[in-house]
Structure 1
């Protein structure tokens, strides 16, 4: 059974209805094990308790490297990417969120009726996998602070996701038989690049996005944004995690703001069911496979094609016969409502 990211609350609800109000989320490999626990509460106030914070996850990753070497550890997201998934899912905020808010207050919300130039957001490669429009609150339909997105093709071309896993035996030995499913799918960090490429295309195709051609490399991309501003009379707000990129952009008189990732993960996070579902989706992609009570989630699987990526789908293996009918029931209700 496949479920889109936007339908993962159906899975959470099915587990809740089957008596699983506290849901441990684990990696199948014993050296990694439980990552966090979801304590389902109200729609806006559930709790996530980290069994593996930044440091303990780093230690677990080192243990995998010592036991199984590069083929296995390269299939685990870096500690920085692990943290970034919680940031992208909305359970964690940027380390300088008040500074970002001040920047948007200063340069966003253009009064087009008074003749102000449109304002578009642009993103560096290093934050594109982490759903930056959502992370920075730029997609609000109530009071949008920008008028669209400016997308440099150099960013798209820097998002490397072509490397595929051709040998799964080492992964099966390290983590278990579930990892046979990763055959011929993006391997390791390539899945992060795939998430970035998917985000780029969503901004381009589903939002108001201006795409323009640049080469790769920081200076080439920044010069492209500079030229775009001059030729279109649109103003760009450029975001990056890279201090040097921000300083270079400012030297071109582009409004640029650094997005600081937190230094670590707190042991307890609070958020909505939607934020939990989004985080669960991202971590399923990054790890490839996650286990929950009664179900196994596959971020990638044999034969996962372009449309499944486009539709942000996971493969859900129901290990309990009690859960699958509950998921199908609620999913059918949502589908009927959407029609």
Structure 2
């Protein structure tokens, strides 16, 4: 059996350090917003060559708090890709803002800059880009549009730890870079965790208030806040794994290159554009008989996933929040995409085997 992901195997190289860190954490007796969070924030910011990073409870909160920090008025519009994971859209709705869906580029699955201008109105306040599957969006034209129309840019980097566009890291282009450290991410915690990269001291202070009940000083609350603190233990674990992020990404690129070289032309493979460094959080293919292919692989003891089986505009929870224009590009992706095993826990031999089975389909 080749699982899509095996977190036990994935974390085995770090096991002794994780156990030792837990013992140290237990001995210290400081469990909330201690030294581990503070040091991880410094190290995560330094990795991105930025000054400010703020740890929060999870990736959804990273998006919500980024929007809240902007202070947008209720009913303002935020442009977002039509094929993103639901969390990106939930963040907009939770902030009492209106998500406006824009189709992706069919070659990259990321938001199409050429489709953004038609979605901009006098109520548009931000573009929330999503670096989907591990490849950065085409940021130059997006940033140019944002400057012309005075829009904030918020990056959903949940799948793009260490991804680059023109030698610049995901999360460093816009006003805010929101990260999830869900256990399956390229940089994964052992539970929920998240962080936000921001550009100014003012935004950093505001985010620290928002994550901690709106408080800068204990029992003194300046703004309406949340309980969204990065857990001290998860920060400690992330500090162990952060120095290995580039190694993890290199391994996943190596596995992806095997698929790229060996899969036949019946599969539409990820498009690797010049100037981009994809970290392959997800290696997805498109196939017209996706469901039958998934079953075929299962019969050969290969587990796959679908990211994602239901498009946002078809989700029952969002029917009252989104204008459903069909979104044909997004619909096509959701109907045909299949995610193949491509993890730090997988070996090159396993990927060669999977590619061989795929080619026999």
In the superposition, the TM-score normalised over structure 1's length comes to 0.30
Higher relative CO (Cα under 8 Å, sequence separation at least 6) belongs to 1
Task: Please give the TM-score of this superposition, normalised by the length of structure 2.
Answer: 0.28
Higher helix share: 1
